Amino acid sequence: MLKRIMIVALALTFVFGAQIAIAGLLEDIQARGELIAGVKDAVVPFGFVDEATNDIVGFDIDICRYIADKLGVELRLEPVTSATRIPMLEQGSVDILAATMTHKFERDEQIDFSITYFMDGQKLLVAADSGITSVADLAGQKVGTSKGSTSEQNIAEAQPDCIVVSFEGYPEAFLALKQGKVVAVTTDSTILLGLKNSDENPENWAIVGEFISDEPYGLGVPENESDFRDFVNLCLAEMWKSGDYMTIYNKWFGEDTAYYLPLEWEMEIWP
Ligand code: GLU
């Protein structure tokens, strides 16, 4: 009898254990009723604090809100930096990253990515009267950027003779530029446009040089959560096909905004 009970108990453990293993992040989010998104909170216009409401707003936030709405859950925002975002996703502190993050094969070793949902490239932000026009002018000079970004790697490759100074985030790097501690800030061009046009005197600053990299942004999702990643990709594809993507894109990067970036790429859509 005892033996039989033990066998039944073992079988039950196996069945329920297997069920727990099968239930993935998608089900967890639905059960919790909340999608926790890691977003930037000081990167205009991707994720920043709206001073009137104290809410974090921006392009990345609108993308996450669309996904949360499709899931039928609330959206919770957790601020991340370029350096903290991947560890936070790995630890399970957030479900998804919408944080100006370029999809790199190198990063694929730690997390998974959605299809590309935004495309940019890296440039330089300098004082308008600096005389700097390209990376060639940065030899022997200090250049500010953010810790944990592709920007710090790309600039070191594009100009091995410059001194890369990495800050917590881009506003700190811009402050260093204003204080004369660095001669340029480098990162994705739209982030630079956000810094320049959020300044009281945008005309004092210039975005210069050729693109020194391609920066296709992907949403970060945890490794091996394919149901969740499929869902996220489906949301992006639906957003693109329905025109909702363009509405969000134009709200932040359209011609009438201070962050105009012509859309010159197409989302990967399959039938
Ligand atoms: N897109 C680049 C990256 O993923 C630079 C912007 C950022 O630091 O988030 O590293």
Domain boundaries, the chain: 25-119+215-253, 121-214
Distance CA 10, CA 92 (A): 30
Residue 263 near residue 118, CB atoms below 8 Å: no
Interatomic CA distance for residues 215 and 250, integer angstroms: 19
Question: How many Å lie between the centroid of ligand 1 and the Cα of residue 80?
Answer: 12
CATH fold of 121-214: D-Maltodextrin-Binding Protein; domain 2 (3.40.190)
Structural tokens at position 28 = 């967890």
CATH of domain 25-119+215-253: 3.40.190.10
- pLDDT class for 55, splitting at 50, 70, 90? very high
- 213 CA to centre of ligand 1 in angstroms: 11
Place of tokens 């196996």: 14
Cα–Cα distances (Å) from 142 to 99, 100, 174, in that order, read: 26, 24, 13
| Contact indicator for 192, 94 with CB cutoff of 8 Å | no
**Cα(61)–Cα(66) distance, integer angstroms:** 9
Ligand 1 neighbour 188 (Cβ under 6 A) = yes
The predicted-structure confidence for 200-259, as pLDDT tens digits, reads as follows 999 999 999 999 999 999 999 999 999 999 999 999 999 999 999 999 999 999 999 999
- How many CB atoms neighbour CB 241 within 10 A? 11
State mean pLDDT over 25-32. Answer: 97
% helix / strand / coil in the chain, to the nearest 5? Answer: 40, 25, 35
Question: pTM of the entire structure?
Answer: 0.91
User: Which ligand 1 atom is the nearest neighbour of the CA of 102?
Assistant: 4
Which one of 39, 44, 101 would you pick to mutate in the ligand 1 pocket, going by the greatest count of ligand atoms within 8 A of its CB? Answer: 101
Q: Does residue 186 line the site of ligand 1, with CB under 6 A? A: no
**Model confidence pLDDT, tens digit, residues 60-94:** 999 999 999 999 999 999 999 999 999 999 999 99
* Contact call for residues 71 and 30 (beta carbons, < 8 A): yes
**25-119+215-253 and 121-214 have identical folds:** yes
Residue bearing the CA closest to ligand 1, atom 10: 149
Residue 254 CA to ligand 1 centre (angstroms): 21
Report the C-alpha dihedral over residues 207, 174, 168, 116, rounded to 10 degrees. -20
- 50 in Cβ contact with 57 (< 8 Å): yes
Atom of ligand 1 minimally distant from the CA of 99:
9
- Would you say 236 and 117 are in contact if contact means Cβ atoms under 8 Å apart? yes
